[in-house]
Structure 1
Amino acid sequence: MSRDHEIPLGTLCEVKAGPSGSLLDNLHEGPDGVPVISPPDLTDDHKVDTRRLRRVPWDGAKRLSRFSLREGDILVVRQGTLGRLALVGAEHATWFYGSSCLRIRPQRDRVLPEYLVSYLSYPPVQRYMLGQSIPGTVPSLNSAMLNELPVTVPPLDRQHAVVEALADVDARIRIQRQMADRLEALRPAIFGELIQGVRRT
């Protein structure tokens, strides 16, 4: 990975590890309380899957306030499935994140959250991060490692251009996938019609 014009992540963002397990002893799957985002809730397309969220009771939320999320934060898995990450949307603001995640809070006047998500998910960067992880039964990252991660930071106008270009690519990918899904669903019906045509001849 090239190091030209790179800045350590820690000078662009605040990196904070999730709460200790003891602060999350009362997690439950009921409808009441504040949601807590964990690694299984981070999707391959860098979003938060809200279908299986666990929650912390309202009366335990106050002691977790320093682990609350804001729109534009980025969550990175720090134990287990390293490299998985997600961008926090407005709908997730004030939620919490689990002990197996790291929260990255970008300085928006220097780096766009959307650009940083794309940078951190770029395969050479992913390989670099995994190469820096602590080996063991469960590989892990920590705040110090992410703080030292070199980040290529172009001017904000170029970051905007990169984000817009990638958004266009993502839109095209979604359209192609939808078309492929429709064709896959139609395939049995087409086969059935072709078989019936053969039987009639």
Structure 2
Amino acid sequence: MSADSREGIPEGWQPVPLGDICDIQSGGPAPRRSEDVPGGVPLVRPADLRNRRISPKPGMPHVSPERARELRRHQLVADDILVSRTGTVGRAALVTEHEQEWLYNTHLLRVRPHDPAQALYLVAYLARRATADWLGSRAVGTTGMRSITVRTLSELPVLLPPVDQQRDIGAALAAVDEKIRAHEDIVRTTGVLRDTLSDLLMSGRLPPCP
């Protein structure tokens, strides 16, 4: 692909600040343990972001429907993107229809593309090592407690190709992510099977095969 005169940027591509094409909002409060309501509305944490998707870990907190209504400005919709603002800053995940109306806590920033069709491309862009390095270099605070602000994330320069290429790039990388998640599920299931087999063999409840 040929490049134009703007420092090697491909023809038809343009750099824009993330805040020009997305609404970015900070997260809601982290509930106290006494506020956790099993079966309530899930509250996403940075630990629940894995392979560009939300994969809840054990211990994910939930809030009551009444509390969720108070926090409705922090409700998620499909094609939102969550970005960790503390700890490992810059970890990103796409919100799907399954997580519609879930909430996100104070350690996350919500990125809502003005055009939802850009969501797959943007989550892939945010997940790049170069993006993490850019955000990490601008994080403030002490070691282990570093964080980024809405303003910092809004200033992130995003290199946008034409819309059709955005779709193709986003779809290609999403397909790779899906394969990664599938392989991880196989590894996890096989590990559980091994543990069960080990217990049966080492308790004498199952004789070893000759």
* TM-score interval (norm. to shorter): 0.7 to 0.9
RMSD between aligned residues: 2.9
5+ long unaligned stretches in structure 1? 187-201
What's 2:26 paired with?
17
Q: Is the 8 A contact 1:79 1:139 kept in 2?
A: yes
The reply on whether 1:126 has 2:132 as its aligned counterpart is: yes
Tell me the TM-score normalized by structure 2.
0.74
**8 A contact 1:3–1:150 mirrored in 2:** no
Residue among 117, 121, 132 paired with 2:123: 117
Write the letter of the residue equivalent to 2:27.
G
Q: Which of 54, 71, 76 matches 2:61?
A: 54
Tell whether the 8 Å contact from 1:36 to 1:97 is kept in structure 2 after alignment: yes
Within the alignment, does 1:68 sit opposite 2:75 as a pair?
yes
Partner of 1:107: 114
Counterpart of 1:142 (choices 133, 136, 149) is 149
Change (3 A) 1:165 1:70: same
TM-score (norm 1): 0.77
Shift in CA distance, 176/68, structure 1 to aligned 2, threshold 3 Å: closer
Q: Structure 1 residues 48 and 157, CA, compared in 2 at 3 Å: closer, same or farther? A: same
Q: Which residue of 1 aligns with 2:201?
A: none
Deviation track 1:1-54 (CA, whole Å, cap 9, x = no partner) reads x79421000000000001245xx34641512x21111111111x1111234321
- AA matched with 1:15: I
* Aligned counterpart in structure 1 of residue 49 of structure 2, from 23, 42, 54: 42
Contact 2:52 2:177 (8 Å CA) reproduced? no
After superposition, what is the alpha-carbon deviation per residue over 1:116-164, rounded to whole angstroms, capped at 9, x for unaligned? 0110111111111111111324110110001111001111101111123
Q: Report the Cα distance in structure 1 between the residues aligned to 2:133 and 2:42, rounded to whole angstroms.
A: 31
Instruction: Write the distance in 1 (CA, Å) between the matches of 2:181 and 2:162.
Output: 29
Distance 1:173 1:3, change over 3 A: same
Deviation digits for residues 67-125 of structure 1 (CA, Å, limit 9, x no counterpart)? 1100000111111121222110101111110011000001116x611100110111111
Structure 2 gaps, min length 5: 1-6, 195-210
What is the Cα deviation at residue 181 of structure 1? 9.0
1:143 maps to a residue whose letter is: V
Identity %: 32
SS across alignment from 2:109: strand
Aligned to 1:30: 38
Q: Distance in 2 between matches of 1:136 and 1:143?
A: 19
Separation in 1, partners of 2:92, 2:43: 15
Q: Assess if the C-alpha contact under 8 Å between 2:26 and 2:109 holds in 1.
A: yes
Distance 1:28 1:101, change over 3 A: same
